[in-house]
Structure 1
Amino acid sequence: MSSLKFGTSGLRGLVTDLVGRPSYAYASAFFRSIAMANGGSRAVLIGRDLRDSSPVIAATVAGAATAVGLTAVDCGTLPTPALALEAMRREACAVMVTGSHIPEDRNGLKFYRPEGEITKADEAAILAALNDGAIVPQLPTAMSTSPESGALERYLQRYREVFSSDVLRDARIVVYQQSSVARDLMADLLTGFGASVTLIGRSDNFVPIDTEAHRAEDVTFIRNVMASGDFDALVTTDGDADRPLVADDAGRIVRGDVLGLITARYLGADAVVVPVTAGSALERIGGFRQVIRTKVGSPFVVAGMEQAERTGARVVVGFEANGGFLLGSNVTLNGKLLPALPTRDAMLPILATLATVQTADTSLSHLVASINSGEMASDRLPNIPPERSGGFLGQLADGKFRAEFLRPVGSPLAVDEQDGIKITLDGERTIHFRASGNAPELRCYVEANSAQAAENLVRWSLAAASATMSKLKISN
């Protein structure tokens, strides 16, 4: 059985299941069902991350585009939001070859319409067209199109035009480069805004940085880097640079939804759209006119932003617990226009957060503490087949089972089944289980009144879930 499936943002699966005919078939289905019906540009833009498997998959996608009469444009290695921005500018469709934060043995395809990410309805159309007339020729192994080098520069210019050149003057920033596709542009932007930048950790091997469920080795590495006290913040991104990771002056990683909150306030947002995994304190502390909760996944956040605009919101933004920030409407910043970019972006929350710190003349750790957003922790159980995680979530939906399961830690007061099972416990705590849409994992998010309590609760939750799933009888 193939591992390929649409998740929270695009198609993902094992490289062995994606390379070759499968990537050709999915790309061809997208071009025939979506791009050919667009009626606009006959060009399709293709970008990729730094995984070893990405160049050959990109070449296959280009071959599929050419076969249906489209002109493939090679945008090379660049952040996903940069590719999306260029697609909007050209009014063209685009495909990003990336597995985002998941390990290198996996990869994926993100599909874009000229106006932004594809919808869940578009995903259904691609699946319907998957086996409808795709004739697979000899597959190319390298891109044969002319490269487009201007897309990356236009993405950089987007932020150079609205942030002042000295907005980060004297800030001491560590850029953890690893294998992020934005590893060089982060340094260029921050230096250009006046920051003193120290580069660390550049890697020729792919490093799977998850900006939401942090690996223990990443947490330790970042804490050790910041232990000297010589730096104000550390920044990095996931593989395709649509999710930021920011650590404060004490070496503590700032939650993605807190980065989103800071950025939304910086932009003067009046409507905020977030998935159910964002902290439940957002409504209480945000000060926004409207907060809309959605299922996990950027297509759902995009749909929520469109809903907010229809109801008259002036400045609409969205963000996720992983830190990815979506700008749903044009914003005036420092007297200049920052156009909407309704797809996840890492650079805007990084810049807005650091600029907020500089303007307030404080430290990032103090700024985060002043927000009083509560404490959250998240982690995951890897290699959990969907039928096993689904069986566990099905059990947890039963009130009697739920009460017994949670007896060691507290009493369930309410449950939200919008995406997985999110349970409100006594003591202003929550436990949220959901199956990942990108990999065979069970994810867990918790809230508590202290960092240690949150860590203890997430560890207990995953251990209890693992023990329960080990007893499940799964039929073949």
Structure 2
Amino acid sequence: MSVADIMSHSGVAFGTSGARGLVSAMTDRVCFAYTMGFLQHLEAEGLFSPGQHVAIAGDLRPSSPRIMAACAAAIIHMGGHVDYCGFVPSPAVAAYGFARGMASMMVTGSHIPDDRNGIKFNRPDGEILKADELAMRAQRVNVPDIFDAHEMLLATPEMDPLVDVTDAYVARYVDFFGAQALHGLRLGIYEHSAVGRDLLVMLVEQMGGQAYRLGRSETFIPVDTEAVRPEDQILARQWAAELHLDAILSTDGDSDRPLLADENGNWMRGDILGILCASALGIKAVATPVSCNSAVELCGMFDEVRRTRIGSPFVIEAMQELAKAQHTTICGYEANGGFLLATPVDMGGRHLTALPTRDAVLPIMAVLVDAKRRGLALSMLQDQLPQRYTFSDRLQNVPTAQSQALIRYLQTGSDADILARLTHMFGALCGQAIHFDTTDGLRISFDNDDIVHLRPSGNAPELRCYTESADSERAASLNGVVLKIVRDNAEKGL
């Protein structure tokens, strides 16, 4: 059976960041087959052979240990050795693999609810890209008869002793920024169920800051850095005021997407955090998805900005193109705040190696250190950028097919027809539609300088909406009204 057949039968499919699906669909047999397809593809590329090691880690979802065991069983079946890294951030296990030239895997559903999970695959030289996904789909796998009637392993493999990847990951940032880089700062750590929660506390303390543990949960909380829950917004403001914090640090479930709140407890947008991080590191060329804030072009800080489709594989491909253009320092970032460092950075006699996968720690630490060095509060640091504000939210439990049908309807016909239809739908809110971009979903620019971007999620039954305006309250209120209009039209079958 091919991996494509398994995808079709199970409903577990590739999204923008690995394979994801319902936990009930991610049986041991399905996860075993996916891992076989991954390793067979690497073997064909000369990047894996029997006897080699593959690193594996997971997040704190209840289903992650079982799925990790199924993936480990497949690695062993293929003749590989498992480097079991335990429950650590996605970028930590990826960095471990990259440094050793070995493949790695992370069992995580990132920010989505824990009735779903997923597997992120990393080649020895970087994340898998879309070409790798196509090759994995085409793999034919001969899965052994080691499963029961419910497609679960008859015997769970024994894991090798735990491999510590945390110390090296923490040292990466302490060595670069300095052991006293956060001295004097009062920093809250919103722990919730993030796999990197203890690591963040360790990092703050080793960099001289005072860490305050907040909101730890032993049940999984699906924190989405692009759509921060109202209760998390309220908590952050309360914590900042009660504890007199300089900032609050957090991440999503697998700790590759950052959340950073300023001294007032206001969560910073991920695309603003990306601009500030790139500036703090002296980056010259930036790759970022089309959904991100246009302040990256307007600020004039970078020699080149290249826009991409949404998803780290597309950002990585754009970073590779920027490298061909011989830019000296290159990064990428996403609207969720995940930061990808394509080239090494040297600053103040210290060296930071490249890490071309989504990372939460670097943007948090780079921006905090830069603000402290300049004697500015985080809110003041943001105020120095062009005043463009973004907001994002989503319609949940919207079938992907329904979302795609609506987008097709909106962009059918000539350019003039499309602009007229968009003006008819949204004109009372934003004026005349003057431009649209179909790089990923549908991004619409209006003559009042508002921007509306609609996009079906690549890994969940959701329709995302990104809005941008010259005023933060306007961006937020516009988003809510747009989502209502979209919901009403989607229900009509348009």
The TM-score, its normalising length taken from structure 1, stands at 0.96
Give runs of aligned pairs for residues 70-469 of structure 1, distance below 5 A: 70-129=80-139, 131-138=140-147, 139=153, 142-228=156-242, 230-398=244-412, 399=418, 400-409=420-429, 410-469=431-490
1:47–1:96 contact (8 Å) kept in structure 2 = yes
Distance between the aligned counterparts of 2:116 and 2:422, measured in 1?
34
Counterpart secondary structure, 1:221 = helix
The alpha-carbon deviation at position 396 of structure 1 amounts to 1.5
Counterpart secondary structure, 1:337 = strand
Counterpart secondary structure, 2:242 = coil
User: Aligned match of 1:29 in 6, 31, 37?
Assistant: 37
| Letter of the 1:93 counterpart | A
C-alpha distance 8-202 of structure 1, shift in aligned 2 (>3 A)? same
The alpha-carbon deviation at position 227 of structure 1 amounts to 3.0
1:19–1:56 contact (8 Å) kept in structure 2 = no
Corresponding residue of 1:69: 79
C-alpha distance 373-144 of structure 1, shift in aligned 2 (>3 A)? farther
Corresponding residue of 2:27: 19
Deviations 1:346-374 (A, max 9, x none): 00001001101101111111111122341
1:76–1:147 contact (8 Å) kept in structure 2 = no
1:315–1:328 contact (8 Å) kept in structure 2 = yes
**Which range is displaced more, 380-389 or 20-29?**
20-29
Distance between the aligned counterparts of 2:241 and 2:405, measured in 1?
43
Distance between the aligned counterparts of 1:439 and 1:220, measured in 2?
26
Counterpart secondary structure, 1:210 = coil
2:39–2:48 contact (8 Å) kept in structure 1 = no
Distance between the aligned counterparts of 2:292 and 2:300, measured in 1?
12
| Letter of the 2:253 counterpart | G
Corresponding residue of 2:5: none
**Which range is displaced more, 305-314 or 145-154?**
145-154
2:188–2:214 contact (8 Å) kept in structure 1 = yes
Corresponding residue of 2:3: none
Distance between the aligned counterparts of 2:290 and 2:387, measured in 1?
15
C-alpha distance 286-202 of structure 1, shift in aligned 2 (>3 A)? farther
2:111–2:253 contact (8 Å) kept in structure 1 = yes
User: Aligned match of 2:60 in 35, 50, 65?
Assistant: 50
**Which range is displaced more, 429-438 or 211-220?**
211-220
Q: Which structure 1 segments of 5+ residues have no match?
A: none
C-alpha distance 370-144 of structure 1, shift in aligned 2 (>3 A)? same
Distance between the aligned counterparts of 2:243 and 2:170, measured in 1?
30
Deviations 1:98-135 (A, max 9, x none): 00111110100000001110010111111111x43233
| RMSD of aligned Cα (Å) | 1.5
Q: Which structure 2 segments of 5+ residues have no match?
A: 1-8, 148-152, 413-417
**Which range is displaced more, 393-402 or 358-367?**
393-402
The question of 1:9 aligning with 2:30 is answered: no
Distance between the aligned counterparts of 1:140 and 1:238, measured in 2?
33
Distance between the aligned counterparts of 2:352 and 2:156, measured in 1?
36
| Letter of the 1:396 counterpart | L
| Letter of the 2:395 counterpart | L
The alpha-carbon deviation at position 36 of structure 1 amounts to 5.8
| Letter of the 1:440 counterpart | P
The alpha-carbon deviation at position 39 of structure 1 amounts to 3.9
1:282–1:373 contact (8 Å) kept in structure 2 = no
Counterpart secondary structure, 1:418 = coil
C-alpha distance 140-304 of structure 1, shift in aligned 2 (>3 A)? farther
The alpha-carbon deviation at position 271 of structure 1 amounts to 0.4
2:36–2:141 contact (8 Å) kept in structure 1 = no
1:12–1:438 contact (8 Å) kept in structure 2 = yes
2:396–2:463 contact (8 Å) kept in structure 1 = yes
Aligned length: 472
The alpha-carbon deviation at position 157 of structure 1 amounts to 1.2
| Letter of the 1:201 counterpart | G
| Letter of the 1:366 counterpart | M
Deviations 1:130-153 (A, max 9, x none): x43233524266451313433221
Distance between the aligned counterparts of 2:154 and 2:63, measured in 1?
14
The alpha-carbon deviation at position 164 of structure 1 amounts to 1.2
Distance between the aligned counterparts of 2:125 and 2:452, measured in 1?
36
Distance between the aligned counterparts of 1:445 and 1:123, measured in 2?
27
C-alpha distance 426-136 of structure 1, shift in aligned 2 (>3 A)? farther
| Letter of the 2:12 counterpart | L
1:378–1:445 contact (8 Å) kept in structure 2 = yes
Deviations 1:45-75 (A, max 9, x none): 1110111100010000000111111112211
Counterpart secondary structure, 2:315 = helix
Counterpart secondary structure, 2:384 = helix
**Which range is displaced more, 402-411 or 351-360?**
402-411
